[in-house]
Structure 1
Amino acid sequence: MLEPGDLVEIERGGFSHWAMFAGDNNLIHLTVDGEGKVTESNGTIKKERFNAVVGECKWSKNNTKDREYKPRSLREILKDAEEWVGKTVRYSLITFNCEHFVNYLRYGNPESGQVKKVVQAVAQSGPIGWIGASVFASVASTSKVSGASKTSLKK
């Protein structure tokens, strides 16, 4: 059973799309606008009906980061989420994607487990992989609110 503020992971083939349950059968999520590049483009924060976002895909409640981070108050999460709806942001697969966004809402910490997995996989591919992983990780770490993409998080 989903409660407002829960994170929803939606399986979409080789990756997951992430959204936050806002109650009343609605999800708030970051979408890529138009036919822009998947890696970097403009994105829009949307509030849409659960079935319109999930469709036929498998989904699950995924608040596993609760073990690592304390969730913000439900009032703060929902207030911030609603204030984001309709805003255009700079979407980046590496530094600010849908998973970064919902983790920012719930925990105040924009990070992506999917990006971390890619960094780890590249790092395990040998010395050249370590160089690539280091560069990738340094770029990915700019998604922190205190980092370079702080402007992506301004409302």
Structure 2
Amino acid sequence: MSWKPEVEPKRGDLIEIDRTGYHHWAIYIGDGYVVHLAPESEVAGAGLYSLRSVISDHAMVKKEPLLEVVGNDEYRINNKYDGRFPPLPEDEIIARAKAEVGRVIAYNVLCQNCEHFVTRLRYGTAVSDQ
């Protein structure tokens, strides 16, 4: 898998963003936008999502342009759990993601992180290898 996708993501794809020492996750909802879980104080493209995520105990669900969230980092489409869990229907994934936007939810880097969040949207099951 390339860290700069040669193809555009499809609605419902998991996006893995390579941050220093950490991978941030988002879900692509179409038209260049993603939904992701990030600390409330962050702004897209700041490059510090990972640092603040590690020390935060809550985060906000945000809808932002993919390229702003990525900033100067590299990213890839990574639906790595498709072999273990069947993805939900595309329309359901997108509806679930959009319904979460603006919510502030509990966050824990080990058991309730950004990867858990997006995998729950795509598969109905929260999972993370981080």
TM-score, with length taken from structure 1: 0.70
Separation in 2, partners of 1:72, 1:37: 27
- 1:108-127 equivalences under 5 Å are 108-114=124-130
Cα distance, 1:95 vs. partner?
1.4
Where structure 1 has 5 or more consecutive residues not aligned to the other structure, the ranges are 115-155
Task: Give the conservation status (yes or no) of the 8 Å contact 2:53–2:109.
Answer: no
Aligned residue for 1:7? 14
Deviations 1:1-56 (A, max 9, x none): 21000000000011100000010000100002339672441210000011110011
Is 1:17 aligned to 2:11, yes or no? Answer: no
Larger radius of gyration: 1
Residue identity matched to 2:118? V
Aligned residue for 1:138? none
* Matched residue SS, 2:69: helix
Q: Percent identity?
A: 39
More helix by share: 1
Separation in 2, partners of 1:55, 1:34: 16
Where structure 2 has 5 or more consecutive residues not aligned to the other structure, the ranges are 1-6, 43-51
How many residues align? The count is 114
2:65 to 36, 49, 55: 49
Which structure has more relative contact order (CA 8 Å, sep 6+)? It is 2
